[in-house]
Amino acid sequence: MTKQQAVLYCRVSSKGQAAGDEISLRDQELCCRDLALRQGLEAAGVYIEARSATSDDIGDRPELMRLLAEAEAGGIEYVIAHSQDRLSRNMDAGSDIGKRLRKVGVAVLTPEGVIDLRRFDGKLLYQVKSILADNDARTMKQRLWDRKRAYGQEGIFVYAQRLSPRKMLSGRSEGVLCHRSSAAAYSGQLPVRPL
């Protein structure tokens, strides 16, 4: 009897993950391989997205696009991921991915269990998890902006990991405050806090 075919998908969402400071790509892959082994599945391919997605458009993620093309070509029964939010943290993108996998009869397998997209309860569970992942992503972004705003009100020059400290950071009104305080921050008159 031949083993059912699965593909593994690993993705980072931060520079910390890419550098291995957090749950790294290697850790995700090992977890997925172990899961495939425990479920008696053959890992037919590994798709690794080694950079954080810069937009919610799944077309910006070449490895995910290759995975979906392989699933749509047939012969794959499962997509294994460390968690469902590795596929997408955006509700609309997650829904698109789910529809494409469901259309070709591919289930999603995570350490939490199997989501059989062909069944109504599997489809519903996938959608609920997509909504929760989207909400978590929005909450994290809002907390980051709230911290920037609070620091700005304290007169502290704030910069983010992806932006140069010389750029205005947090919208129009707060950005003016940060921009005006940048000269003082560089001269040592104001404290500078990374987020």
pLDDT band for position 99 (cuts 50, 70, 90): very high
Interval 149-186: pLDDT, tens: 777 666 655 544 433 333 434 443 333 334 334 444 44
pLDDT bracket for residue 14 (50, 70, 90): low
Among candidate residues 183, 193, 121, 103, the one with its CA nearest the CA of residue 156: 193
pLDDT for res 85? 87
Q: pTM, whole model, 2 decimals? A: 0.70
Higher pLDDT, 153 or 48: 48
Q: Please report the pLDDT score of residue 149 as a whole number.
A: 74
At 58 the pLDDT is 81
Structural domains in the chain?
A: 4-137 (3.40.50.1390), 154-190 (no CATH)
- H or E stretch covering 66: helix 62-73
Spatial neighbors of 99 by CB under 8 A, at least 6 apart, are none
Give the burial class of 100: count Cβ atoms within 10 A of its Cβ; 0-12 exposed, 13-18 middle, 19 or more buried: middle
Q: pLDDT by residue (tens digit) across 100-141? A: 999 999 999 999 999 999 899 999 999 999 988 888 888 888
